[in-house]
């Protein structure tokens, strides 16, 4: 979707942005082919770093040109998803928040279908609509998401083993 020039702008912004300490760092040359990018890093990239660059690049484009109009529509699509994710990952939740999340997700899905009619949705798109119920049942997602488990699995995967149950090889 991005041109080489746009990717370079994204990467340049990644190197120059000053982030709060609580925000996950992301690789400076992040792309869909980056190995070992964690889901929390993707979330930070998609909802914090990427919108900053896209707003800078695409928000003031002249929409008389089809290419520019498409870019503005992609920006709108991106912001709908980012808004939904920001609401879903908030440290607090309420019935109003869950309704706002659902509204943004519905608009996102409608725009996605309109802009990319041949795109086949993945199970995560369906699952996202259940987050509304989960927010009401279980509260903020920080209490029940799997990032801590993923981090622990990542740490365990770095252990060297001899593939024999009950024994580990420890090396410094």
The C-alpha angle with vertex 1 and arms to 9 and 44, in degrees rounded to 5, equals 60
pLDDT value at position 46?
85
Q: Quote the mean pLDDT of the chain.
A: 85
| Cβ contacts of 132-135, under 8 Å, gap ≥ 24 | 132/98, 132/99, 132/101, 132/102, 133/98, 135/88, 135/93, 135/97, 135/98, 135/101
- In the numeric block, which tokens belong to residue 134? 């989960």
Query: 105: Cβ–Cβ under 8 A, 6 or more apart, which residues?
Result: 84, 128, 129, 131
Structure confidence by residue, pLDDT tens digits, 77-126: 999 999 999 999 888 999 999 999 999 999 999 999 999 999 998 888 88
- In the numeric block, which tokens belong to residue 80? 């709908």
Give yes or no for residue 159 having a pLDDT over 80: no
């Amino acid at each position: 979707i991005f041109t080489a020039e746009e990717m370079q702008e994204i990467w340049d912004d990644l190197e120059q942005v000053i982030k709060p300490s609580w925000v996950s760092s992301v690789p400076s040359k992040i792309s869909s082919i980056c190995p070992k990018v964690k889901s929390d890093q993707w979330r930070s990239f998609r909802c914090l770093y990427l919108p900053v660059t896209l707003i800078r690049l695409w928000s003031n484009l002249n929409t008389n040109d089809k290419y520019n109009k498409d870019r503005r529509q992609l920006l709108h699509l991106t912001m709908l998803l980012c808004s939904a994710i920001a609401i879903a990952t908030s440290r607090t939740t309420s019935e109003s928040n869950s309704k706002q999340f659902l509204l943004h997700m519905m608009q996102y899905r409608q725009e996605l279908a309109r802009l990319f009619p041949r795109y086949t949705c993945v199970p995560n798109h369906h699952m996202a609509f259940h987050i509304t119920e989960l927010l009401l049942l279980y509260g903020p997602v920080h209490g029940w998401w799997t990032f801590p488990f993923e981090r622990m699995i990542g740490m365990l995967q770095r252990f060297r083993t001899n593939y024999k149950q009950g024994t580990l090889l420890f090396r410094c």
